[in-house]
Chain A
Amino acid sequence: MNLALTEMRRSKLRFGLLAGAVSLLVFLVLLLTTLSTALVNSITGALNGVDAQVLVYSAQARDNLQASRLEPGVVEQVTGVDGVGAAGPISTLTTSAALKDGTEDLQVFGFQPGQPGAPTGLSEGRLPQSSAEVAVDGGGYVIGDSLDLTAADKQLEVVGLLRGAQFSATPTAYITEDLYGQIVKATNPGVPFVPVNAVAVSTQDDPATVVSAINEQVPGTKAYTKSDAVALIPGVASISQTFGILVGLTFIIGIVVIGFFFLILTVQKMKSFTLLRAIGAGTGRLSRVVAMQISVVVLLASAIAVVLTLLAVRGLNSGIPVSLSPALVAGTVLAVLVFSLLAGLLSIRRIAKIDPFTAAGAR
């Protein structure tokens, strides 16, 4: 004879509606978080995936990789700084190409094979080793395809596919620094040297210490830990903040809905709770009834929300890779559960205040 579950079974509509409302709110939380993560990843993936702990831009770049121009010699200078294990160039440009999926915008990254600055996140194949090869994230390619770099008049063989390695939510191609130089020279015949955008640094030391060492020892540069550099990518902060506010508000609304629903339910049931207190049910026992009902509603709502989110993510062909992370689901459900139970304290406080003698009264 479980009071909590028996009541829920008798009032399926009431609790069903609540679970439905809560599931929509949990769904929104999951979907918004998933989308914002996907969006941020598609903007930051390339930089986040760089095999390095520290990134060095030019001092005038205002924290923006694409605005950064460094002479190639800076790579050696950085290599010489205390604590730097190895350093390699990162170069990037935006170009147009006839991509297999019909789109034209392509972000190109150049790196030195075997040096810091190479991408991670290879899902298939390997990284390019010669100036005839390319690894790509997006654009609809499979291994063995040929990628047509219209601007540089080059046909490249796709040897690797990457995931989560896009920059600016654009299909992104990874090529050798060598090939990158050829493209720059082909499109800008007069350039005195091929600039690099950043120097990628690997280190065994504390990245923050290496950052200060580089800032001190290499004039004209500004160094960042990788996570700082990623957070400073234009748009990332505002996307995270906007989505954060939406998710936070949705979350709070969900908790308030649960808290007030159970408070109303408790007030409506005061007569029964008073009777039960009078015939020997303790406050703890009755509080557990509320806690159990909240848990059942939250878990039921979460299950519905996960199904809805999976359907939405599948149905959503947004071009950027979107996937529902189990950690996000677990974290969200746990947070909703904990805060809902806290909101349930509103009801439990009412129960604790009951004077069981009231049940003996005539009314």
Chain B
Amino acid sequence: MNDDFVPAHPQDPGLDPAQDAGSHADAILKVEDVSKIYRSGDTEVHAVSSATMAVDQGEFVALLGPSGSGKTTLISMIGGLLSPTTGSITLAGTDVAALSKRELTAFRAERVGFVFQAANLVPFLTARENLLYVSTLQKRISRKEAHARADQLLEELGLAARAKNVPEQLSGGERQRVAIGRALMNDPDLILVDEPTAALDTKLGRQVVELLAREIKQRGKTGIMVTHDLRMVEYTDRVFEILDGHLTHVEQPSALAH
């Protein structure tokens, strides 16, 4: 959609991702050698193995991979929901792994905007209230600004007429758009979107991703979108692929066999 932000990548796909990270010396997000092992009893699941990636300010990247490959695990660690077993994650100079529980809560409220795979909205709040509530979790944006911002976001997302509806009264696509508005509400450094099209048909899915890409570009935000749908990749600047916990940077997404 917008290729201005796609940096030149001379390397071949499948090259050591550490090298790729090296070309983003002042990236806003740096994931370095991050692994996550889930332990329950005697069994160990290596959900993410030694992942390295860097994302520049203003980039919208896709994280592609089949189900169970570690996509949710990786973005959860990046967003401060899950601590990595090893490795380091830096967002705009903040070492995420070094934050205390309390600091992580504030980090999630102010620095990250999430759109989760499943439940994203509070059922007893209207679309507008779902946006407004997150603004109460931070101090940078005043109450008045928050109201204006919520209205503007709803307008941009084509939800102005649905502002007073509770999630139950909204369609799947509308709910997903409210969730995007909610993620953008606190003006975060990074937007993390987990399979936004999973519950939508292709046409609606495209619309939602297009809107998401537009909002991210317009606002100069940085975003990572998890998807297993190759067709959504065209809206992003760069593509990472994860397979069985192993992350690689992909040069030509169209070459991906799915």
Contacts and interface: CB of A to CB of B under 8 A. Distances in A.
Interface in B62-87: 72, 75-76, 79, 81-82
Contacts of B137: 279-281, 285
A279 B183 CA distance: 9
Contacts, number: 85
A269 to B, nearest CB: 8
B124 A282 contact: no
B258 interface: no
Interface stretch (A220-228, A270-278, A311-319): A270-278
Contact of A360 (B81, B109, B124, B135): B81
B194 A272 contact: no
B118 A362 contact: yes
A361 B72 contact: yes
A7 interface: yes
Contact of B194 (A3, A11, A275, A360): A360
B124 A1 contact: no
Given A1-B132, A6-B125, A278 B102 contact: no
Interface of B: 72, 75-76, 79, 81-82, 102, 105-110, 112, 114, 116-125, 129, 132-138, 166, 182, 194
Contacts of B120: 275
A356 B81 contact: yes
A357 B194 CA distance: 13
B120 to A, nearest CB: 7
B225 to A, nearest CB: 14
A6 B118 contact: no
User: Chain A interface secondary structure, helix, strand, loop or mixed?
Assistant: helix
Interface string A247-289: 0000000000000000000000001101111111110010000
Contact of A357 (B76, B125, B129, B136): B76
A360 B123 contact: no
Contacts of B75: 360
B157 to A, nearest CB: 18
Contacts of A359: 81, 114, 116, 118-119
Nearest to B166: A10
Contacts of B116: 275, 278, 359-360
A363 interface: yes
Nearest to B73: A360
A357 B38 CA distance: 13
Nearest to B77: A357
User: 8 nearest interchain CB pairs?
Assistant: A280-B109, A280-B108, A1-B132, A10-B124, A357-B81, A360-B76, A280-B137, A357-B82
A276 to B, nearest CB: 7
Nearest to B132: A1
Contacts of B132: 1
A7 B122 CA distance: 10
14 contacts: A1-B132, A1-B135, A1-B136, A7-B125, A272-B122, A275-B119, A279-B137, A280-B137, A357-B82, A359-B81, A359-B116, A360-B72, A360-B75, A360-B194
A272 B133 contact: no
Contact of A276 (B72, B112, B122, B129): B122
Nearest to A274: B119
Of B112, B125, B166, B194, the most chain A CB neighbours within 10 A belong to: B125
A11 B125 CA distance: 11
Contacts of B117: 360-362
Contact of B105 (A6, A11, A274, A280): A280
Contact of A1 (B72, B114, B119, B133): B133
Given A10-B124, A11-B124, A360-B194, A279 B134 contact: yes
B147 to A, nearest CB: 9
Of A11, A274, A276, A359, the most chain B CB neighbours within 10 A belong to: A359
Interface string A1-45: 101001100110000000000000000000000000000000000
Contacts of A274: 119
B19 to A, nearest CB: 29
B166 to A, nearest CB: 7
A271 B121 CA distance: 10
B212 to A, nearest CB: 17
Contacts of B107: 280
A280 B81 CA distance: 10
Nearest to B147: A1
Given A10-B166, A360-B72, A363-B118, 13 more contacts: A3-B125, A3-B133, A6-B124, A7-B124, A271-B119, A272-B124, A275-B120, A277-B105, A357-B76, A359-B81, A359-B114, A360-B194, A362-B117
B134 A280 contact: yes
Contacts of B108: 278-280, 356
Contacts of B76: 357, 360
Contacts of B166: 10
Contacts of B110: 280
